[in-house]
Structure 1
Amino acid sequence: MPYFIIERNYAEDVPVPLEAAPGLNLINDEEDVRWLYSFLSVDRRRSYCLYEAPSIEAIRAAAVRAGIPADVITEVDGRMMPSGTLAGVV
């Protein structure tokens, strides 16, 4: 299944969804989307999330249902390592 990086932009500090995570994961399961992990910007106004999903449309559907932004979605297929080698996404 393809991997995607999602950039989410917020007008205020990103709400850290500790208690919301089970609900988000349930929505993701229903859309066949898997949230792997996220990075949070220092200003807490952006997050960058790695997802596994069948399509961009599935990610957008999950984000709409969850009420969270999905401003930029980019499919990725590998990582460039400091050694100059390529590795899998996960």
Structure 2
Amino acid sequence: MPTYIIERNYVDQLEISPEVAARLRPLNDAAGVRWLYSFLSLDKRRTYCLYEAVSADAIRRAAVLAGLPADVIVEVTGRISPEGVLSPI
């Protein structure tokens, strides 16, 4: 399944809890996407999320269902290590 990085920008600082994250799973399942993990910016107003999904449109559908932004969606196909080794994702 393709892998995507999603940049999400928030007006207010993001507050996340295990309960909030648990509510996202059924919405993601309904759209056919799988949230792997996210990075949170220092100011808590931006996340960079790694997802598996059949398409960028599926990620957009999941974002709408969850009421989340999906400002930039980029399909990624490889990972480069500090040693310069390219590995498929």
Q: TM-score range by the shorter chain?
A: over 0.9
Q: Which has the higher helix share?
A: 2
1:44-82 Cα distance to aligned partner (Å, 9 max, x none): 110000000000110000000100100000000011110
Alignment partner of 1:69 is 2:66: no
Task: Give the total of aligned pairs.
Answer: 89
> Are residues 1:28 and 2:28 paired?
yes
Identify the residue that residue 15 of structure 2 maps to in structure 1.
Answer: 15
Q: 5+ residue gaps in structure 1?
A: none
Q: Percent identity?
A: 58
More divergent stretch after superposition (9-18 vs 69-78): 9-18
Listed as ranges, the gaps of 5+ residues in structure 2 are none
Segments ≥4 residues shifted beyond 4 Å: none
TM-score, with structure 2 as normaliser: 0.95
User: How much is the aligned-residue C-alpha RMSD, in angstroms?
Assistant: 0.9
Q: Which has the higher strand share?
A: 2
